[in-house]
Amino acid sequence: MRIDKKTKDNLITYGIVVATFLIVQALASTGHLTNHIKGLLVPMTYYAIIAVALNLCVGILGELSIGHCGFMCIGAFTSAAFSKITAEKIPSGPRFLIAFVIGIAFAALFGFLIGIPVLRLKGDYLAIVTLAFGEIIKNVINAFYIGVDSKGMHFSMENQMALGLEPDGLMVVNGAMGITGTPHDASFTIGIVMLLVSLVVVLNLINSRDGRAIMAIRDNYIAAEASGINVTRYKMLAFTISAAIAGAAGVLYSHNITTLTASSQYFGYNASIMILVYVVLGGIGNIRGSVVAACILYLLPELLRGLNKYRMLIYSIVLIVMMIVNWSPKVIEWRKKTFANFGIKKKV
């Protein structure tokens, strides 16, 4: 059977993920993993997922977004609210599945709504508006109060008392305190499955007619439009899918911790920028690179914990040096010359 290059490439990507999963499982079952490392596994999968989502937006669609954690935030909060309300009514398996559907649907809905104004803009203006939307989402969620009692759902944007909840009512979203007591449904296996699902979605999209249209818009939107491609439609398509996948990462995130708050550390622009760092270092437009970079760069500061307070300083220096080595035109030229001297032909 002949396999074309793209399919082979995609299979390698899936293979890497599955192999990593098997190796980690083998190490875990033989007791080689400390609890600290085990705790990092689920975050690693959701960061890989959101990196894939962002790469679809930045690398394939070609629009810089620095607010993707906002979509993650929406996915996290909607699904966690659902899981908390139905915690005792639905068994954990189907409940988590429905939570995924809800989180992804809401993130996609917001991706669509936000995409309408955002995608009219260009370049840095677009980037700053995505940042603005990310911050707006985070801020509004911090001012949300939702409770449930026998009369149904109560909603307020003032404070807990304004809900007028019955004494036996359930406080679901408590403003800046967020959601506490979300069932702990996420696991490394589910994370890997979700990563594979998002990879299948994104890689198939890229290699489809729609994906080629999206990339044509990225490369030259005037030429794409002149060739009869509906620019708005394809931009919206890619942006919405990207938001939906970010929402899936949010579902994993919220079901892996007990207290979910819309803090700047996890959902602010800083977090979105951190994901952007994964995407750029993994290679813009290179989906496999995003997965690998997200895993390595997420683990790096954690593994540097022995260096205590110097770890983030070292991380930042590594980041700057890596960017200069990878991207500087002079370094690239020098690298080419050196490789030529050694008689190694390397594709740059």
Both tokens of residue 147? 């409770």
Report d(CA 234, CA 215) in Å as an integer.
Answer: 10
Binding positions for another protein, 24-53, rule CB under 8 A: none
**Residue 179 has what DSSP assignment?**
E
Nearer to another protein, 37 or 177 (CB): 177
Q: Give min distance, CB of 56 to another protein, in A.
A: 15
Q: Is 337 in the site for another protein (CB under 8 A)?
A: no
- Report which of 80, 86, 52 is spatially closest to residue 244, judged by C-alpha positions: 52
Q: Is 346 in the site for another protein (CB under 8 A)?
A: no
Q: Is 243 in the site for another protein (CB under 8 A)?
A: no
Binding positions for another protein, 278-297, rule CB under 8 A: 280-281, 284
Q: Give min distance, CB of 267 to another protein, in A.
A: 13
Report d(CA 264, CA 328) in Å as an integer.
Answer: 32
Q: Is 333 in the site for another protein (CB under 8 A)?
A: no
Q: Is 327 in the site for another protein (CB under 8 A)?
A: yes
Bridge partners, 170 (sequence order): 148
Q: Is 316 in the site for another protein (CB under 8 A)?
A: yes
Both tokens of residue 295? 């895993």
Residue type, 330: K
Burial of 189-199, coded b for 16+ CB within 10 Å and e otherwise, reads ebbbebbbebb
Binding positions for another protein, 255-274, rule CB under 8 A: 269-270, 273
Nearer to another protein, 43 or 134 (CB): 134
Distances (CA, A) of 105 to 207, 250, 258: 24, 12, 23
Q: At what angle do helices 188-206 and 35-55 cross, to 10 degrees?
A: 20
Distances (CA, A) of 318 to 115, 293, 311: 34, 13, 10
Asked if 252 and 100 touch (Cβ cutoff 8 Å), the reply is no
Give the residue, chosen from 89, 320, 345, 347, that forms a contact with another protein under the rule CB under 8 A.
320
Q: Is 122 in the site for another protein (CB under 8 A)?
A: yes
* Binding-residue pattern over the window 185 to 224 for another protein, x denoting contact by CB under 8 A: -------------------------------------x--
Q: Is 112 in the site for another protein (CB under 8 A)?
A: no
Report d(CA 348, CA 345) in Å as an integer.
Answer: 9
**Residues of the shown chain interacting with another protein in the complex, contacts defined by CB under 8 A:** 58, 64, 117, 120-122, 124-125, 127-129, 131-133, 135-136, 139-140, 142-143, 157, 176, 222, 269-270, 273, 276-277, 280-281, 284, 309-310, 312-313, 315-317, 319-320, 323-324, 326-331
